Structure 1
C-alpha cells in the first residue's frame, strides 16, 4: 500500500510565543523551520487552542487557586494555567509569519468550558474526539509528522494519540520547543517512545521526501 504523509502543526499561536500569556521559551524559533517543512508536504493540518473565557483550565476561574496548581475534575487532575488562547482574541491567533495558507484544515481544541485538551485528536476526558483522526483516515493518511508547541504538552499528547490511532508517527524535534518543568520534556519523550513514536529533524524529514 502506498504511504500518504501529513504534517501536523500544533498550536503555533501568539499566546505561546515570547510576550504571550503562556509563552514557551524560544517559541518563535519554530516558525521558520515549520514554514520550511510545509514546503515538503502536500498535506498540512494545524491545531488551534480555542478556549471560552470560562474555561476550566484558567486559574482565574477558580477562587483561591493559583497558576500551575492542580485541581481534581471529572476526568482527573487538571493543571491551572493563565488565561490563554481565548476564542477570537489576538492571543488565540496563529503567529503572523506562520504560513497558514498551506493548511487544508484547522482543528480547534479545548472549545468546551468543562474539558481541557492538549491533544489534537481527543480532549482530556479521553472521549470527546476532535475529528482529526477521521479526517486523516478519510484522506488515506498513514504517516504523520508532528511539530509545534509545546513539545512536552500538546505536541507529545498529539503524537501519542496519533500513534494510538494507528498512524506511523514522528516528532520533528528542531521544529518544536518545550516548557520543560521538572523534567517534563524527558518524561514526554519517554512516554512517546513507549508508543513507538520516532524522533526526527527538519533536514532528515526533507531528505526523505
Structure 2
C-alpha cells in the first residue's frame, strides 16, 4: 500500500508505561508493539501521538466510586462508563510517553481525559461523543485525510478513535498487529464488528 506523505498520517494511541506490562492498567504484551511502531514511524512524514492524562478522582477510576470494582460499569451522565484502576495520573511516571519511544519527528501530542467528570477514549471526541478534542480541526487545517492507527488498546481507545475519525469523514485504517487489546468479555468481537459495519479496514504493518 502506497503512503501519500502529503495527506496520510500515523496516529499512535496511548503508548504509555501504565498500559504496558507492570503498569497500573497493563495491556498484555503491550510493549511488544514498540518495534513495529518505530518501523511505522519511519515510513510517515506526519506522526501524531495521544496521551491519556487523568486528574486524581477521575470519573473513570473505580476508586472514585465507593464499593465499585475495576472493570465493572456505571451509568455516567454521558452513558455507560467502564471503571478502571487509577492510571495515567497527570505528570506521574506511568502517564509519560514510554521512555523507549524514539520518534523525533512527532508533530503533535494530544492529551485526553483531563476533564475530571468525563472520560475520553477517542482521539477526536470525549465520551459524550459531542465534545471535540481539536484533532479533527488540526487534521483538516493540515490537509491530512487518511489515518493509519496503532497503539493501545485495540478494543477501546484505538477502536473509538477509528470510529469517530471515520464518522468525521477521515479514512481510517487500523494496523492490527501494532495494537493489543484489553480483551474484556466480548470487547474484541464488538470492535471487529464495529469496524466491519463502518468499513474501517484492519491491515498489517507489512502491507505498507
TM over 0.5: yes
Q: For residues 183 and 69 of structure 2, what CA distance do their matches in structure 1 show? A: 19
Partner of 1:126: 129
Q: For residues 103 and 130 of structure 2, what CA distance do their matches in structure 1 show? A: 29
Deviates more, 1:195-204 or 1:36-45: 195-204
**Cα deviation digits, residues 66-116 of structure 1 (max 9, x gap):** 111211111011111000000100010111111242210011110100000
8 Å CA contact 2:41, 2:103 repeated in 1: no
TM-score by length of 2: 0.95
Q: For residues 71 and 183 of structure 2, what CA distance do their matches in structure 1 show? A: 13
Select which of 52, 57, 79 maps to 1:54.
57
**Cα deviation digits, residues 17-64 of structure 1 (max 9, x gap):** 000000000000111100100010000000000000120001111111
Question: RMSD of the alignment, in Å?
Answer: 1.1
**Cα deviation digits, residues 162-205 of structure 1 (max 9, x gap):** 11111111000111011212121121011022111101111102
Q: For residues 51 and 37 of structure 2, what CA distance do their matches in structure 1 show? A: 15
Residue 118 of structure 2 is aligned to residue 147 of structure 1: no
Partner of 2:20: 17
Residue 120 of structure 2 is aligned to residue 117 of structure 1: yes
Residue 200 of structure 2 is aligned to residue 186 of structure 1: no
Select which of 132, 140, 144 maps to 1:137.
140
Residue 51 of structure 2 is aligned to residue 42 of structure 1: no
Structure 2 residue matching 1:159: 3-state secondary structure: helix
Q: For residues 50 and 142 of structure 1, what CA distance do their matches in structure 2 show? A: 26
Structural mapping, 1:17-96, within 5 Å: 17-96=20-99
Specify every segment of 5 or more residues in structure 1 that has no aligned partner in the other structure, as ranges.
none
Q: For residues 160 and 84 of structure 1, what CA distance do their matches in structure 2 show? A: 24
Deviates more, 1:56-65 or 1:96-105: 96-105
